Amino acid sequence: MDLNFSAAEQEFRGQVRSFLREHLPADLTAKVFGGKRLEKSDYVRWQKILHAQGWGAPSWPKEFGGTEWDAVEQLIFDEECADAGAPVQLPFGLKMVGPVLMAFGSAAQKNYFLPRIVDGSHWWCQGYSEPGAGSDLASLKTRAVRSGSSYVVNGQKTWNTLGQHADWIFCLVRTSAEGRPQEGISFLLIDMKTPGVQVRPIRMLDGEHEINEIWFEDVKVSAENLIGEENRGWTYAKFLLGHERAGGVGIGFCKRELKKLRQIAHAQRCAGRPLIEDARFRDRIAQAELELMALEITTLRVISAERRKSGAPGPEASILKVKGSELQQQITELQMQALGPYSLPWLPEALDANWGADALLADYPEYAPPLSGRYFNFRKTSIYAGSNEIQKNIISQMILGL
């Protein structure tokens, strides 16, 4: 098997690099490389720039405004964007609800929502987990009762990412108490401006407002916003989770952060010499690089298989999710260990774009304070999209047959 990129793929890489040099705003790059906080306007601006180029939806079919790139082209695009310091494209519309709409939505839903996802007009968020329904998602209790041509929704969602910016939320709601718990769930699209929707912030370990509780009190939602059939939402939810797990691997991010890790290891000194010369630490970096190479090859296989069958990734997406999340945690942890005493201070204000280093930190590397916050933030990667323990159960049952 030839693992080298073809001439056409290398030419494509050159096109992506040229585009990024010309169109990626310098202030966005400075924020990404500096570990600064990205605002809603930053994400939306970058999405609109990509849309103007025709690259707003790298994994979508052309009929829905996508590029229809193959697996290798998608991987190259992701890698080059990460290496150049571009903001990530938000997955909630592009990689979660978008594929569900394409597969199960009505013609009217596709015509209305899909173009607004690609051009950045609509910011989506996810309404799956509840205080008593996370890994055991089928036990969710948020109810939607049919009333004429509408549903009335009451309940609570939690661990909602960036919902404070969202225009719409895709929700799993209980529409029936009959039969198995999975059989009474529906998939509903809700406008966040609807009366009765309340967003309450949850502060994370790094002090940031990234996640929320979403409360629904007598929220009236048109039945036209139901995806597919009533009580068939569990099928659509599993389809979405396959895309979320396969799309959250973070290969481009890992490559960029490995490069930063090597830079830190060259700059930091241990026993009077650069840390990179310590054989044991250098071996740990090499181990992460080897695991990332293996993950990249496996990801290409999964994406290619998904394209051939035109469906959601199968249980193999759980392998990508487990390994991708562990690698992201491993790399950010190695960065912290490479910094040694410099990794101790955590300053939330360091995420502000206009923050100037405190005089007490004059001797610290400029990237030190944001790195500790990133370490805290990436503790969550092994939990979202289904905890890694759940993913290992899926792998053992559906792949290994245990």
**Active-site annotation, residues:** 244
State the DSSP code for 185: E
Contact 353, 289 (CB under 8 A): no
Q: Which of 212, 311, 206, 291 is nearest to 250 (CA)?
A: 291
- Residue 276 in tokens: 């990179």
Q: How many CB atoms lie within 10 A of CB 281?
A: 18
Q: How many CB atoms lie within 10 A of CB 301?
A: 12
Helices (H), 205-250: 233-247
Q: How many CB atoms lie within 10 A of CB 353?
A: 13
Contact 118, 57 (CB under 8 A): yes
The span from the CA of 338 to the CA of 383, in Å, is: 25
Contact 117, 92 (CB under 8 A): no
State the DSSP code for 130: B
CA distances from 351 to 46, 178, 323, 366, 371 (A): 19, 49, 28, 12, 10
3 state DSSP class of 153: strand
> DSSP string of 372-390?
HHHHHHGGGGGTTTS-HHH
Contact 113, 167 (CB under 8 A): no
- Residue 253 in tokens: 């991010």
The span from the CA of 151 to the CA of 222, in Å, is: 6
